[in-house]
Amino acid sequence: MPQNAPLTPPARPHAAMPGLPLRVGTRASPLALWQTRFFLEQLIRFCPVLKFMDAFEEHHIITTGDAVQNRRLADIGGKGLFAKEIHEALLDRRVDFAVHSLKDLETELPAGIVLACTLKREDAREALILADPEGTADIADPYAVLPQGAVVGTASLRRQAQLLASRPDLQVVPIRGNVQTRLSKVRGGEMVASLLALAGLKRMGMESEAAAVLSPEIMLPAACQGIIGITVRAADTELLELLSGIEDPEAKAVSQAERALLAALDGNCRTPIGGHARFLEDGRLRLVGMTARADGTFLLRRAIEGAAADAVAIGRELGDALRRDTPADVFG
């Protein structure tokens, strides 16, 4: 991280310990469980005494987004469906904190729940997956490997819009499920290719499945892709203080900018929106945002730079600019 980027003060080493065991809520997919256990490892590393206290209980929660696999998220209510039941468990005090892929977390959380911390970002880029496990693609022109009229699977309107903007001849079909399920469908020949978040592949030790890694210039990632976020009840000040000790300051700044962008655009799974922030060498923050039509016939990219301390304002400013210059039907 650049030397002059803002730092978050660590928690006091002897902060009061919340009551044990701490119950952690998580989805039950292999990737969600990996992320949860990674988070707990970071917490134990920060507070080693927890290692010897049977400090944690995992609570696996089936969300609506997990239960309904035959429809696009946009058709059943949007990205909040991966968190609704987890929020309810927090508010009902059945769990004490919850672990999320931050890209799946809505920008406006229910009253009484806050985003307590964000962990170091994994690679935010997208991976191109081909039906041929030995297939490779040119990173400069990765879509050239796809035959005319090829069937590509993705449930993401953001991915679909960018694919069709580059290759309007492609046929895009919906594909849902966890990483392993989607890989199996592609390898089984149901489609020629698909796109997955590289972060998930790397966390599952499956990075070699990628035929090519797409630069953000070719495929702009989802806002907060590759970031793990932890939510707690706003009133649990002891947990908030404990979790502040494992907050990654860079992930905090970029996620604030990207989530503010989404909020300004009223972003949900019905609108193709991309957002990616990164630190420049001088410590400033650069945010790229995108709006598009799902069919790829309209796509607008804009970028903005500013001080990392102004991350939220940067996101709002870019979101407002994109909204002004985007046809109203895109948000319909």
- Residues involved in catalysis: 104
Cα separation, 172 vs 193, whole angstroms: 10
Is the CB of residue 272 less than 8 Å from the CB of residue 217?
Answer: no
Q: In whole angstroms, give the CA distance from residue 85 to residue 42.
A: 25
Q: ∠ CA(32), CA(37), CA(43), 5° rounding?
A: 130
Among residues 90, 227, 234, 73, which one has the least CA distance to residue 155? 73
For residue 240, the 8-state DSSP code is H
Instruction: Note whether 148 and 126 are within 8 A (CB).
Output: no
Q: Cα-flanking dihedrals φ and ψ of residue 129, to 5°?
A: -110, 130
- The closest alpha carbon to 12, from 250, 280, 244, belongs to 244
Query: Would strands 113-118 and 56-60 be described as parallel, antiparallel, or unpaired?
Result: unpaired
Backbone angles phi, psi at 47, to 5 degrees: -130, 80
Look up residue 199 and give its DSSP letter: H
Query: What is the distance between the alpha carbons of residues 277 and 288, in angstroms, rounded to a whole number?
Result: 6
**Cis status of the peptide bond prior to 2, with omega within 30 of 0:** no
CA distance 270 to 160: 12
Specify whether the CB–CB gap between 245 and 234 falls below 8 A.
Answer: no
Q: Distance between CA atoms of 194 and 63, rounded to whole angstroms?
A: 24
Contact, 215 vs 125, CB < 8 A? yes
CB atoms within 10 A of CB 13: 8
